[in-house]
Amino acid sequence: MAGFFSLLRRLYLTAYNFTLFVGWFQVLYIVLKTLKESGHESIYHAAEKPLLFAQTAAVLEILHGIVGLVRSPVTATLPQIGSRLLLAWGILWSFPVVKTNLNFFSLFCFLQSSLLLQLQIICSFFFGLKEAFGSAPSWLLWLRYSTFLVLYPTGISSEVGLIYIAFPFIKASEKYCIRMPNKWNFSFDYFCAANVVLGIYVPGSPHMYSYMLAQRKKALSKSKSRVASC
């Protein structure tokens, strides 16, 4: 029975990663096609729907950690997925005017971090297949645990930059704000919340990067140990 559930788990995770792989491949295709035909100004508008799908589907990674399908702790997965969802839905989708104010650098960093995430998903997909049907090659393991070295700095830079660009539009619109008095006796200011989130990046970014470096070192050390024992 345990073997059956283990096989079921692998099949599900393979299907999940394949779905994300297809979604991100579509984003990549649209980005390159639009860049060639229309220029960078039209990229985000063209890729928005598949990008939102791919980013939102990653919410399941949090659930995977909660139920134990993967070993990744929820405390590490939640801030990573949460920040991307904030940018995708809470900034770019909620305030369309931000998209028209993106400079090339901000757009490039945002899309680069998204497309580098695709590389991680591709590695996870093929790594899962290799693990299911045999041992995974060391180069694939290295690639899986090394793409974040580029992804994190560019991704964090784009996230911070996009939130900062959105500040005046968030403040002026008062969207998602709850003002008192109301029957819940509760107030919420989205602009203040965005400032708090931006402040969390200061201690949070080095902490997450250090955590990922430690995970990388641990995974690659295990791989070297297995190779040496063979």
Q: Tell me how far apart the alpha carbons of residues 162 and 80 are, in angstroms, rounded to a whole number.
A: 16
3-state secondary structure of 85: helix
Q: Tell me how far apart the alpha carbons of residues 171 and 178 are, in angstroms, rounded to a whole number.
A: 13
Residue 37: active-site member = no
In b/e form, how buried is each residue of 18-35, taking b as 16+ CB within 10 angstroms? Answer: bbbbebbbbbbebbeebe
CA 123 to chain centre: 15
Residue 159: active-site member = yes
3-state secondary structure of 81: helix
Q: Tell me how far apart the alpha carbons of residues 51 and 104 are, in angstroms, rounded to a whole number.
A: 18
Active-site pick, 37, 159, 209, 211: 159
Active-site pick, 16, 44, 145, 152: 152
Residues labelled as active-site residues: 152, 159
